[in-house]
Structure 1
Amino acid sequence: MIPITARLSIDEDEVSESFLRASGAGGQNIQKVETAVQLRFDARRSPSLPDAVRARLERLAGHRLTNDGVIVITAQRHRTRERNRADALERLVALIQEAAAPPPPKRRPTRPTLGSKNRRMDGKTIRGDTKRMRGRPALD
């Protein structure tokens, strides 16, 4: 079991890994060793996820989610296969943790205080006086 939160964990059998050659510069090693990891997690059919978490996870996954509901995470930052596997799994766990977190409390609108209204009006009065002094002198 892969622990996500205190009350949520997913089975290791739900996550599949495949290895491929990493892209980019790297010389001869990168051309012959498959160090990049492509991790797949079927979020839509996972029995471990509650419906609310599943819906938020699909929304958060964005372009990493396929049409079948499978989350695909590719890791190729590191030089070794083991580090890339750990990196991909960490990113999946972080994504599910973010989906499992409770939503932030709803914003309650507030009104400006009387003091802040008065300070705003005083500032506008001072600015208006400054601009009025730039004009032509009054004819008396």
Structure 2
Amino acid sequence: MPGPLIVTASITVPEAELNWRFSRSSGPGGQGVNTTDSRAELTFSVAETTALTPALKARALIRLAPRLVDGAITIAASEYRSQLRNREAAEMRLAQLLREAVAPPPRKRRATKPSRGAVEHRLADKKRRSNLKRLRRPED
């Protein structure tokens, strides 16, 4: 399992930039939970990575700012009983997070105005509704 983390076809994070820490998990595992270090914590420094171009790094730093501590992001996984599966889960989450962080921004919406037919249809509906409500009123 050790090896580079593939984020997209053009972005691969070298294994040396991924820092792992393991501890005892509070999740499933029965008595084994008390003796095995199955919880995996993956720390990745977005600010110091060489895997991203300067433009992508700036975009990622802005988008991940609330989750970063000193330019690094930490992801913990403890939902599985085995350390290997927790490592895989943490890597998948980091890859997904980085994919979303470096994705290009959506295109700006071009303002349009409603067509003449749409405006006429809306006004006709309003008039019809108004007439219906007027007919419901008691005559004075």
Partner of 1:30: 33
State the distance in 2 between where 1:61 and 1:22 align: 26
Partner of 2:123: 121
SS of aligned partner of 1:37: strand
In the alignment, the residues of structure 2 paired with residue 58 and residue 77 of structure 1 have an alpha-carbon distance, to the nearest angstrom, of 28
Alpha-carbon distance between aligned partners in 1 of 2:25 and 2:63, rounded to the nearest angstrom: 25
What is the Cα-based RMSD across aligned positions, in Å? 1.8
Identity of matched residues, %: 36
Q: Structure 1: how far apart are the matches of 2:79 and 2:86?
A: 7
Deviation at 1:58, TM superposition (A): 2.8
Query: Which deviations, in whole Å up to 9, do the C-alpha atoms of 1:49-70 show, x marking residues without a partner?
Result: 122322332344355321x111
3-state SS of 2:76 partner: strand
Aligned twin of 2:80:
78
Q: Tell me the secondary structure at the aligned position of residue 64 of structure 2.
A: helix
TM-score by length of 2: 0.88
Distance 2:41 2:111 in 1: 45
User: Whole-Å Cα distance in 2 between the matches of residues 95 and 5 of structure 1?
Assistant: 11
**2:40, 2:78 within 8 Å by CA — same for their partners in 1?**
yes
Using the size of structure 1 for normalisation, the TM-score is 0.88
Moved more, 25-34 or 109-118: 25-34
Runs of 4+ with >6 A deviation: none
Contact between 1:64 and 1:73, CA under 8 Å: does it hold in 2? no
**What runs of 5+ residues in structure 2 fail to find an aligned partner?**
none
Counterpart amino acid of residue 112 in structure 1: P
Partner of 2:110: 108
Check the 8 A contact 2:27/2:80 in 1, yes or no: no
